[in-house]
Amino acid sequence: MQHIFEIGGVEHRLWLARSGEGYRLHLDGGEATIALANGRLRIDGVETSIHVAHEGDRLFIHIGGDSHELLYQDPVAHHAAGAGRGSQDVLHAPMPGVVVALSVEEGQAVKEGDILLVIESMKLETAIRAPRDGVIETAHLAVGKSFERDAPLISLAPLEAQA
Amino acid sequence: MTRRIHSRLDPRDPAFLANVEHNRALARQLDERQQAARFARPERDLQRLERQGKMTVRARLEQLLDPGTPFLELSTLAAGESSYAADAPGAGQMVGIGIVSGKEVVIRADDSSVKGGAWYPLSVKKIVRALDIAIENNLPVVHMCDSAGGFLPLQDQFFADRYGAGRIFRNQSILSKKGIPQVALVLGNCTAGGAYIPALSDYSVIVRGTGAIFLAGPPLVKAATGEEVTVEELGGADMHTAISGVADYPADNEMQGIAITREIVSQWRQRPKAGNAAIDPEPPAYDPAELYGILPADSRVQFEMREVIARIVDGSRFHEYQPAYGSSLICGYAHIWGQQVGILANNGVLFSDSALKGAHFIELCDQNRTPLLFLQNITGFMVGREYERRGITKDGAKMIMAVAGASVPKISINCGASFGAGTYGMNGRAFDPRFMFSWPRSQVGVMGAEQAADVLSSVKIRQFEREGRELSAEAIAAIRDPVIADYKRASSAWHATSELWDDGVIDPLATRETVALALSAALNAPIEDPHYGVFRM
């Protein structure tokens, strides 16, 4: 699987394969021989000076008088279908317990990470947080109600419905 | 490249800020307790050391270590909550892992600044633990001896039992048998049992004028046989290095003794490390200082362990195993200072599925030769009819079987709670973690304080009821509250570390570095092939 970088909102796919003293660059269907040493980048025999800095997944490159910002795309995150946890509509109880606090009401808009309710189980309090931005469709249980594991606690309005 | 954890923390949340206050205060308290155990001594005791021409144990350590290298001190607060805390700061022992002449070694030193460095019951426990660490991790030992011997009034608590003082000498012999070298630097008295520490070390250095080794000191000899003899004649440096052969190298003073000791260590062979090759380390992408905001001020409140992991591991990168199954136990691979670890972290009580996932993951790590890191925050296994019918006990037994049987090094951190069978499943002290540390907020016990108080006070309450007396809410509270207070004290991190149920209390912000040093020490021992007992299916 090739690496994916984003430059100015455009995705580029590339792979470096070892080749002699340097590397063979496979980029967007094309190929070139490259080598990097002492701040000098050689592409198919043509040498340029290059400065690279990085912060997290962002790379800042100064080359040939121009600056570029590259964003590395993590492959697992990039290929996620968006159908997993992030977009789930119904939050289920991770363990049996009792609702000790309900912080939202139906119709209320919430942000990812907001505390929706607090449950108590085995003498421990656990905050249930919003997995994504959305609107509360149903709060299934009132404060003081007990529930089994996997019982629905909160339903968020489906994303399509909001659009 | 492994994915990064995506933090959902909001540092402007009022709860976050309250937690920061609370945890900073705990870290300050830890720092104050450690400073006191290390340095606070009565002025007259310090003056006595100076008159004797002796350095403090901390000054000796500084000269012994390679300059600028880290020292992983262990059990600094041992005996801190004991009845003899004032007479034995740190149990009168300084123990840790440091670098001497380029080699990782266990350093064990008597602290003679108070009570002549006498051994109390927890001093013996700390020395035996130091030598157990040396045996388990193939680490050479440097002893710095300066002790008046066992504290006689408490001898019934440290002498005759299996892990009593004899275990020190048994462990020294086992180290030698395994080819793990020891050097003893004699800087004061080594009397009675203490005399055997240099005698059982492969190498020993003794300082002229202050160092002495004998089975009985001059007063005891006079009482026994009437013979009058000076300390130097009876067991001084020149007698032992030229005549008896009990010690090997005479030294003119403490500094020269330390220099000779360093030269001895430099002769020892360097052994290759076990485990997989390390990769280039990367700092966590999220600020470790935010740990203070994550850990709730109220110990009953659960917290998200992924947020903790994100602030301990390289690049906050975490390959989570079975992310959708048994979600109350988080399992996955990460690196700490470039060394791979398999992490098991509690995100709720243990269910059958989480226990099965944990057991399976431990076997995966063992096969992959990946050391294990347990981040404990566990109140126990789920209770109730449905869970018993589904066999939660046999699934818990599988996890315990895997924990006990794993061949790779295991390190445990008590991050909050460690209760009941949860302690067993999460590699508690009894399961021989190579190293075990506690955060200041943590608690350990058979069950939580509230539940224990309910059980304990209900016995008394029923007794009153049998006598036909009805108890008011206030009367019940009067029975229950002292029980809670007592139980909380006995399950606190300060008590746990005082009793050596761990290897030290650490600031949460020091976790990354502490685990890295502990892992590095643990990988001095070769790792056996995986093999296990019978898993109850």
- Structure letter (DSSP) for residue B66: P
- What was the pLDDT predicted at A87? 53
Nearest residue in chain B measured CA to CA from A126: B302
B302 touches chain A (CB under 8 A): yes
If we measure between CA atoms, which residue out of B500, B329, B333 comes closest to residue B425? Answer: B329
Q: Are residues A19 and A54 in the same domain?
A: yes
- Which residues of chain B register pLDDT less than 50? none
Q: Are residues A74 and A95 in the same domain?
A: no
- What was the pLDDT predicted at A82? 58
Q: Are residues A70 and A97 in the same domain?
A: no
Identify the domain boundary among A78, A112, A144.
A78
The overall pTM is greater than 0.90: yes
Residue B230 corresponds to which tokens in the numbers above? 């000076």
Q: Are residues A74 and A7 in the same domain?
A: yes
Q: Are residues A31 and A59 in the same domain?
A: yes
- What was the pLDDT predicted at B528? 97
B383 touches chain A (CB under 8 A): yes
Residue with the two structure tokens 């440097």 = B142
Using an 8 Å CB-CB cutoff, list chain B residues near A4. Answer: none
- What was the pLDDT predicted at A86? 45
Identify the domain boundary among A39, A59, A78.
A78
In a domain, A84, yes or no: no
Phi, psi torsion values for B286, nearest 5 degrees = -105, 145
The C-alpha of B20 sits at a distance from chain A's nearest C-alpha, in angstroms, of 18
Q: How far apart are CA B355 and CA B353, in angstroms?
A: 5
Q: Are residues A57 and A119 in the same domain?
A: no
Q: Are residues A12 and A73 in the same domain?
A: yes
- What was the pLDDT predicted at B469? 82
- Which residues of chain A register pLDDT less than 70? 82-87, 160-163
Q: Calculate helix-pair angle for B352-367, B392-405, nearest 10 degrees.
A: 20
In a domain, A83, yes or no: no
In a domain, A132, yes or no: yes
- What was the pLDDT predicted at A163? 43
Using an 8 Å CB-CB cutoff, list chain A residues near B450. Answer: 123
Do A123 and B4 lie within an 8 Å CB cutoff?
no
Identify the domain boundary among A78, A99, A117.
A78
The angle at the Cα of B502, spanning B501 to B507, to the nearest 5 degrees, equals 140
Using an 8 Å CB-CB cutoff, list chain A residues near B302. Answer: 124-127
What are the beta bridge partners of residue A27? A14, A30
pLDDT tens-digit map of B92-129:
999 999 999 999 999 999 999 999 999 999 999 999 99
Query: Who among A95, A96, A112 is closest to B8 (CB)?
Result: A112
Chain A / chain B CB contacts < 8 angstroms: 51
Do A112 and B285 lie within an 8 Å CB cutoff?
no
Residue A58: CB partners within 8 Å, gap ≥ 6? A69, A70, A71, A72
* Predicted interface score ipTM higher than 0.90: no
Using an 8 Å CB-CB cutoff, list chain A residues near B8. Answer: 112-113, 129
Give the domain CATH number at A145: 2.40.50.100
- What was the pLDDT predicted at A78? 83
Q: Are residues A157 and A119 in the same domain?
A: yes
Q: Are residues A9 and A73 in the same domain?
A: yes
Interface test with A, best of B295, B299, B349 (most A CBs within 10 A): B349
Domain count along chain A: 2
Q: Are residues A72 and A96 in the same domain?
A: no
All structural domains of chain B, each given as residue ranges with its CATH number in brackets, are 1-12+274-445+493-537 (3.90.226.10), 41-267 (3.90.226.10), 449-490 (no CATH)
If we measure between CA atoms, which residue out of B41, B146, B23, B58 comes closest to residue B415? Answer: B23
How far, in whole angstroms, is CA B460 from its chain's centroid?
37
Q: Calculate helix-pair angle for B166-177, B121-137, nearest 10 degrees.
A: 10
If we measure between CA atoms, which residue out of B211, B300, B214, B301 comes closest to residue B249? Answer: B211
Q: Write down the number of H helices and E strands in chain A.
A: 2, 16
In a domain, A151, yes or no: yes
In a domain, A139, yes or no: yes
Do A127 and B302 lie within an 8 Å CB cutoff?
yes
Whole-angstrom CA distances from B34 to B24, B89, B294, B414 are: 15, 10, 24, 19
Whole-angstrom CA distances from A124 to A80, A120, B290, B443 are: 33, 5, 22, 14
Which amino acid is present at A77?
A
Q: Are residues A11 and A71 in the same domain?
A: yes
Range of the domain at A145: 89-162
The C-alpha of B143 sits at a distance from chain A's nearest C-alpha, in angstroms, of 45
The torsion angle over the Cα atoms of residues B299, B300, B306 and B309, rounded to 10 degrees, is: 20
Give the domain CATH number at A64: 3.30.700.30
In a domain, A112, yes or no: yes
B301 touches chain A (CB under 8 A): yes
Q: Are residues A50 and A116 in the same domain?
A: no
Which amino acid is present at B340?
Q
- What was the pLDDT predicted at A89? 85
Largest CA distance in chain B: 81
Rg, Å, chain A Cα set: 25
